[in-house]
Structure 1
């Protein structure tokens, strides 16, 4: 029995190794090795391949996101239903972030400016705060207004934010060091394209260009 198990494990290792090797030699220009691996795996299993455009489209059967209850920058309690049929371009960060958050939000805002007025009307850029202790609605309102007039800020209680992060599989944690006067937040930095009902459809890598974000938005809008 153990010999059979070892044989199956060896076969699995060889198959995966072959797929990684194939991915290395067949990946497209600017395609990440991981995306090429998933594309080859999809071809082998007959499943839909992830979208190769600057991110990963979640395959059928994989769920992320969902219902949420939070507070917007105007102090009003909102849920995913309040955003109707618009496509949310969501980023999970915080207003006291010194570098990556304003950079990513600036890219999202620039991507919005690349859309047509009709497309822009169907999109809601949003900052989901992972720092409820400091990100009050008032703080969020002052912050998101610096990026785009359609951008919304969402915060909530510690429990609401934790539940939201669990549904969207967002990692975050408080970082404190003796040399720092204020704490920072460590967090994932993907951009999420979220459709009606709060379901995530596409993940965009950190530091995606405005052009890449805009193209992913257009593609998602064309499919909805």
Structure 2
């Protein structure tokens, strides 16, 4: 099952990254996007309405973020390696962009959506997201709510049984989306292949992509 998901995840990432290839090269400074730049995910059927619960127990919906860019990553707080590394890269990149251009940086809402709602309660998410960025939202919900939002974002996941009922892992698609102020997809943010060690400069690449698309 793990191999099957990994193969499917690689194929999905490859397809989306072909669209998003232009966003993956680092650039110097927080340059504004070119007037004629076309977002690589423009027109893709990714995202949609949702109602979830944040790390403070507050009900939030997609409409709460109207007018804001959204950085959206799916994972889970009990993830032993990939999710924490990805989130650290993304949030370091966001912090770098915020420092270079505070006005544009403030327009971005970073979101961590769990695919493990059974364990990722608001109380569990709160200390997790606070490690990475002061504005990072941790979002959870019922299994049905999570399944719906994951499907909308073309994210697949499944449980991998462990040595005890509460020691399972969650295999999931590894993607980070940048959505525009209307909730439409702009681009994938660069996440390195977990099978390699080529993660040098990843926060710089994230910051460069944010500089390219956030107006």
Q: TM-score w.r.t. structure 1 length?
A: 0.72
Is the Cα contact below 8 Å between 1:81 and 1:196 reproduced in 2? no
Is the Cα contact below 8 Å between 2:20 and 2:187 reproduced in 1? no
Matched, 1:117 2:102: yes
Matched, 1:141 2:126: yes
Q: Distance in 2 between matches of 1:137 and 1:91?
A: 17
Q: 2:23 aligns with which of 37, 40, 53?
A: 53
Q: Which residue of 2 aligns with 1:101?
A: 83
What's the CA shift for 1:182? 0.3
Q: Any idea what the Cα deviations from partners look like across 1:126-150, whole Å, max 9, x if unmatched?
A: 1010000000011111110000001
Q: Distance in 2 between matches of 1:91 and 1:155?
A: 12
Q: Distance in 1 between matches of 2:16 and 2:63?
A: 32
Q: How does 1:195-206 map to 2 (within 5 A)?
A: 195-206=180-191
Matched, 1:90 2:40: no
What's the CA shift for 1:72? 0.7
Q: Distance in 1 between matches of 2:14 and 2:116?
A: 33
Matched, 1:216 2:182: no
Alpha carbons of structure 1 residues 85 and 35: separation in structure 2 relative to 1, 3 Å: closer
Q: Distance in 1 between matches of 2:23 and 2:123?
A: 36
Q: 2:114 aligns with which of 95, 118, 129?
A: 129
Q: Distance in 1 between matches of 2:190 and 2:207?
A: 13
Matched, 1:171 2:156: yes
Count of paired positions: 179
How much is the aligned-residue C-alpha RMSD, in angstroms? 2.5
> Which gives a bigger RCO, structure 1 or 2 (Cα 8 Å, sep 6+)?
2
Q: Distance in 2 between matches of 1:35 and 1:63?
A: 12
Alpha carbons of structure 1 residues 149 and 162: separation in structure 2 relative to 1, 3 Å: same
Q: Return the structure number with greater helix share.
A: 1
Q: Distance in 1 between matches of 2:78 and 2:113?
A: 13
Q: Distance in 1 between matches of 2:61 and 2:164?
A: 39
What's the CA shift for 1:106? 0.4
SS in 2 for 1:198: coil
Moved over 4 A (4+): 32-36, 178-181
Choose 162-171 or 116-125, whichever is displaced more: 116-125
SS in 1 for 2:74: strand
